[in-house]
Structure 1
Amino acid sequence: MPQLGPVNWLFVYLCFWFVIFLISVVFWWVSSNHFHLSDSASKKSSLDETGSKAVSFFWKW
């Protein structure tokens, strides 16, 4: 285990949580759009609907 300074540890910690955040966002996006994969014509409307759901969710907080 190499000796890391406090700045390097902070960088590793932030990267670790950023990767977890990205993975969770990708899984959420795939699961929310899984039902709309069959009809690609309504892909735009489903994306808009997902965006409005996210906006309304954050607006409640």
Structure 2
Amino acid sequence: MPQLSPLNWIFLFLLFWIAVLMISILIWWSKKIYFSTKTPKILNISENKWNW
């Protein structure tokens, strides 16, 4: 392995953890559940379900 200056080792260390962080954020973002503010069509408030 070639000899690197201490500053280059710090840069490699930071680059590695930034890459790990970015990949984990991308995985989290792709599996995120999207919540919509629209009311679902199953919920119909005007319909009375009770037979009174």
Asked if these proteins are the same fold (TM beyond 0.5), I'd say yes
In structure 2, the residue matched to 1:15 is: 15
Q: Displacement of 1:9 after TM fit? A: 0.1
Pairs aligned (count): 36
Structure 1 stretches (4+) deviating beyond 3 angstroms? none
In structure 2, the residue matched to 1:49 is: none
Q: Which has the higher contact order (CA 8 A, sep 6+)?
A: 1
Deviations 1:4-55 (A, max 9, x none): 010000000000000000000000000005xx5xxxxx6xx6xxxxxxxxxx
* Residue 28 of structure 1 pairs with residue 28 of structure 2: yes
Output the aligned Cα RMSD: 1.5
Tell me the amino acid that sits aligned with residue 10 of structure 1: I
More helix per residue = 1
Q: Which runs of 5+ in 2 are unaligned?
A: 38-52
Q: Say which one has the larger Rg.
A: 2
Q: Which runs of 5+ in 1 are unaligned?
A: 37-41, 46-61
> Within 5 Å, which residues of 2 pair with 1:1-61?
1-33=1-33, 36=34
Scaled by the length of structure 2, the TM-score of the pair is 0.62
